[in-house]
Amino acid sequence: MLDFKSTLRTLCGIMSVPGFEADAAAVIGKTFGPYFDSFTRDGGRNQIFLKKSTKPGTHPRLMLDAHFDEVGMVVSDVTERGFLRLMPVGGIDRKLLPASRVRVYPGGWDGPAVTGVIGYCPPELLLPGEKTPQDWDSFLCDIGCTSRDEVFSLGIGIGTPVGYMENAEDLSPVRIKGRGFDDKASAAVLLCAAANIPAGELDYDLALTLSAGEEVGGGGAKSAAYGLMPDLALIADVNFAATPGVDGEEGGKFGAGPMISLSAVCDRPLTKALLDTAKTHGISVTTTVEPTSTGTNASSVVYAREGIPAAVIGVPLGGMHSSAEVLDTRDADAMIRLLTLFMGGADPGPIPEEKPKEENKEAAAKTGGEEKAPESGKEAEDMPPLPVKPLDPRADFDTLLRELAEEFGPSGCEGRVAEKIRGFVGEYADEVFSDRLGSIIAVLRRRIDPEEYDALREPVSGNAPDCGRLALFAHMDEAGFMLRQPDGDGYLHPAALSAKEPMVLNGEDVWVGNEERLTAGYFGVKPAHLGGSGDFDALYVDIGAENGDEAEKRVKKGDFGAYRTSLRNLGSRRVTGKALSGRWGCAVLLDLVRRLKTEEAALPFDCCFVFTTRELIGGSSAPAAAYRIGADAAFILDGLAADDMRESADKRYGAGCEPGSGVSVPYMDRGVIFDRELTAYLCETAKAQGIPASPYRFAAPASDGGAVNRSGEGVRCTMMGLPVRNRLTAGEVMDRADLAAARELAYFAVMGLGER
C-alpha cells in the first residue's frame, strides 16, 4: 500500500516548474508504475496511469486528475556582474521574493542544483522618496558568481528553471509544510487511493493523470481529457485553508476533512454522489461555494470533446503558491478514504505511514534531499530542555561561523549564543565574565611593559596610535520578534523587535521559544489569490497547534522568535544564512583571542573581547560593558549593507561595498563620527599588510559605536565592517575572502597598537 506522507515527500523531491513537469517521468513511472497496469506520457507533458477492470465486457472510464506542475520561475536575463533576473511561471506574490532561497536547475530536475538567494536594494540605501522595490526587475538572484561568463559556464542561461528550495517537513504529527503541495498533495492522494484498489474490484477503467500546465492556463488537462475520452472526471486540487486573513467563507478548517466545490461548472449529480458517500461512511467534509469557476482544471476537462461531467475535491492548504504551504494529513487521509469508497474499493481505514523505500529516495536526492525538521508536535511537558551544543575550542573558522550563525539568539534572548561563546573563550582568555546586561567579556592581560614593547615592535604603519586598554566589540543578537498571546486557533502573532519587514518574513521558517525550549514554525502567508502579503500586523506564525491551549503548552506570551535557517555555500566563494551580519564579528573575535593566546602575543595593554546583547534594537549592552572595563579605544565589528544590488544605468551607488571587496571602513554611522586617527590607522594597516579594504561611502547603520563612544568619559572608536547582502534577513550573503581579510586586519590592527 502507498501512504500519503511518503508519497508526498517523493513527489515534492521533484522540481516541476511548468514546462518541466514530465522531466522526471522515468522516476515517477519506476516508483508508482508497478501499482498500475500501464504508465505513459502524452504529447501534452501529462503523465498517465491506467488501471483496467478485469471484469468481462466494455467499461466506462473514470478520469482522476491532479496537476503536477508547481509555481516557479525561469531565468530571463543574466547581468554582466553575474546576477540572474527572473520571470514568474505561475502566480507568485512578488512581495515574498526578497531573501528567498531558491534552487536553479541548469540540467533540469535531475542535474546538480545551484543554490541562489534573491536580493534587492537595501532599504537604508534608497534615495529620498524611493520605496522598497517590489517589481520583478528590481530583484536579482545571487548564485555566487561575479560575471556573466561564470554563470554560463554552469550551464545556466535564458529559460533555466528556478524553484523554491524548501522540501516537505513535519510541523506536528498531523501538520506538514513545504513547497509544491499545490498540487502534489492532490497527486499523492489520488495515487494512494487508486493504487490501493485492486483492479478486480472495478466496474470501470480508471485513468489517473498528473497533468501539466495548470498554473499557466490548464492546457495539459484539456489534452489529456481529449485523448482519454472519459465518461466522468474527478478533479483533485487544493483549496484555501481558513488561516489568519482567510475567513471561513473563503477557506476550510484544518482537520475538518476535504473540501468539495459547489459550482455551476461542476456536475451536480456527481458532486452529490461524493457528498452522499461521505455521509454514509461518516467522513467529515466541508463545502465551498465557487459560483462561476473553481480555479482548477475542471474548466479544461468539462469542455473537452462533447463535454465531460466533473466534480472538484481537495484538501485545505495554507500559504498557497509560497514556499511555506501547509496542510493537515488528517484531511488528506480522509480524502483518500472517501475516494477509495466512492470508487468502489474496500474501506482502507487508517493508512499507516511507511518508511520510504530506497528507490523512492531518488527524487529527493536529486534536489539535495530535505532538511530534517525538528519535532514540533510534542507538548511542553514531553519536551526536555534543548541543550546548547558547545563550540569546539579547536574548531576551524568556518565551523565557528556556522555554529554561531545557526544558533537561536534574537535581541533580548541571546543566552544560547552567550553560552557557546563563554565556553570557547574560557579555554584561552585570562579572565571571562558576564556583566549585568548579559555581555560576555574575555580579557587577555598585557604581557610586556610599554617601554620594552616600543623597543621591540616594528609598527605596521607609521601612524600607530597608543592605547591603554583596547576593547573589540561584536554583537550576539540577531533579527527577531516577540510573541503575543496565541489566538484560539493556535496561531501566534508577532510583536516587532528587530525583524519587522513583512516582505522578508512571509513564508520564512522560524524558531519560537526561549533559551531552554524551542519549537519549529513558519510565518504563514496569505495566498496571492486573495490579496497576498500585507503589513506586519497581519503576520502570523504557525507551529502546527490545533488550538490556543495546545499552542500555550509549547510557547508563552512574551517568548521570542528568530529565523530557522542553515548556513549554506553560495557558489565557491560565498555563504548564505541568517545572523551573519553580527555573528561574523563574534567568530572573528573568537578566532583572534585564540590566535593571540596561542602565539603568546606580547601585548603592552589589556585586550578585551566584548560580545554584546540587544544591539539591533538600540538598547545595546555595549556602553555598560565599555564603562565597566574602562576601555580607552575600541574597534567595532559589524555588518554593512552591500550597495551592489541595484543594476541602475546611472550607477548612482557604484559598487564600493560589495561581497568580495574586502573590509569596509566607515567614517561614521548613524550614531557617531568615528575617531579620525583610529579610522586612518585601520586603512593604513590594511594597505601595509596588503589586506583589501576601502572606505564605506554611506553612513553606516547605527551600531555599538555610538553607545561605546559616549560611555563614561568617552571612548575613541572605529569600525571594521563587512559587506552583507540582504542584511537582517534569513538570506544574508557574505564572501569568504572578506571574512579572511577581516581576520587578518583585526590581528594586525591589535598587534600594531602601543600603550599611551
Mean of the pLDDT values across residues 394-403? 97
Cβ partners under 8 Å of residue 385, min gap 6: 516, 517
Per-residue pLDDT at 645: 78
Per-residue pLDDT at 23: 83
pLDDT per residue as tens digits for the range 72-122: 999 999 999 999 999 999 888 877 888 889 999 998 777 789 999 998 877
Per-residue pLDDT at 611: 97
Q: Which of 417, 401, 421 is nearest to 409 (CA)?
A: 417
**Sequence ranges of the domains in the chain:** 4-69+179-366, 72-164, 405-455+464-478+578-641+658-752, 483-563
**Cα–Cα distance, 609 to 592 (Å, whole number):** 9
Mean of the pLDDT values across residues 168-195? 93
Q: Which fold has domain 4-69+179-366?
A: Aminopeptidase (3.40.630)
Q: Are strands 606-612 and 469-475 parallel, antiparallel or unpaired?
A: parallel
Does the structure show a pLDDT above 90 at 713?
Answer: no
Least confident range from 236-245, 568-577, 589-598: namely 236-245
Whole-Å CA distances, 64 to 25, 52, 561? 18, 14, 42
Residue carrying C-alpha cell 540540467: 107
Per-residue pLDDT at 619: 82
Per-residue pLDDT at 364: 47
Does the structure show a pLDDT above 80 at 218?
Answer: no
pLDDT per residue as tens digits for the range 453-488: 444 444 444 444 555 789 999 999 999 999 999 999
Torsion region of 148: left, alpha or beta (phi above 0 gives left; psi -120 to 50 gives alpha)? alpha
Per-residue pLDDT at 466: 53
Mean of the pLDDT values across residues 745-750? 96
SS3 call for 751: helix
Q: Which CATH class is domain 405-455+464-478+578-641+658-752?
A: alpha beta
pLDDT per residue as tens digits for the range 537-566: 778 999 999 999 999 999 999 999 999 999
Per-residue pLDDT at 132: 62
Across the chain, mean pLDDT equals 86
Mean of the pLDDT values across residues 651-674? 77
181-195 vs 329-342: helix axis angle to the nearest 10? Answer: 40
Q: Percent of the chain at pLDDT above 70?
A: 88
Strand partners, 148: none
**Phi, psi for residue 610 in degrees, rounded to 5:** -115, 125
Q: Do domains 405-455+464-478+578-641+658-752 and 483-563 have the same CATH topology?
A: no
pLDDT per residue as tens digits for the range 439-460: 999 999 987 655 554 444 444 4
Q: Which CATH class is domain 72-164?
A: mainly beta
Mean of the pLDDT values across residues 256-267? 93
Per-residue pLDDT at 465: 54
Superfamily of the domain at 483-563:
Peptidase M42, domain 2 (2.40.30.40)
Q: Percent of the chain at pLDDT above 90?
A: 61
Q: Please state the pTM of the whole predicted model.
A: 0.86
Per-residue pLDDT at 353: 53
- Amino acid identity, residue 18? P
